[in-house]
């Protein structure tokens, strides 16, 4: 059983891997962008790593929940971000028609 302090630390540090939907991916906590794992135009699959943010000496990898295409990257490695700051914008994945 966790005490309240442990639960708060876990919530702030984002224990585990964060999963994000299409749209604007925002920082779940203030921290330092350690690395950006995608480039503009890149198609990402569900679960693909997008950005790693360090908070309280723990690295938190934000991942895509669904397939999509990286439309814009708002940060670079070394940037400090506040909670809610935009990190990456994902658009819908390219749909390919099966050929007959």
CATH of the domain at 39: 2.40.50.100
Domain tally for the chain? 1
Greater pLDDT, 37 or 99: 37
Q: 3 in a domain, yes or no? A: no
Q: 49 in a domain, yes or no? A: yes
How far, in Å, CA of 60 to CA of 43, rounded? 21
Q: 1 in a domain, yes or no? A: no
Q: 34 in a domain, yes or no? A: yes
* Each residue's pLDDT tens digit, 58-89: 999 999 877 899 999 999 999 999 999 999 99
Three-state DSSP state, 82: coil
Give the closest residue to 32 by CA, choosing from 66, 78, 76: 78
Q: pLDDT band at residue 13, thresholds of 50, 70 and 90?
A: low
Q: pLDDT band at residue 23, thresholds of 50, 70 and 90?
A: confident
Q: What pLDDT shows up at residue 5? A: 62
- Determine the structural domain holding residue 27 and report its residue range: 18-91
Three-state DSSP state, 97: coil
């Amino acid at each position: 059983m966790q005490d309240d302090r442990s639960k708060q630390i876990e919530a702030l540090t984002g224990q585990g891997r964060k999963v994000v939907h299409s749209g604007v991916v925002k920082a779940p906590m203030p921290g330092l962008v350690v690395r950006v794992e995608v480039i503009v135009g890149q198609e990402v699959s569900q679960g693909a790593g997008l950005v790693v943010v360090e908070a309280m000496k723990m690295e938190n990898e934000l991942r895509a929940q669904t397939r999509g295409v990286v439309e814009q990257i708002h940060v670079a490695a070394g940037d400090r971000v506040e909670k809610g700051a935009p990190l990456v914008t994902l658009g819908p994945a390219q749909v390919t028609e099966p050929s007959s």
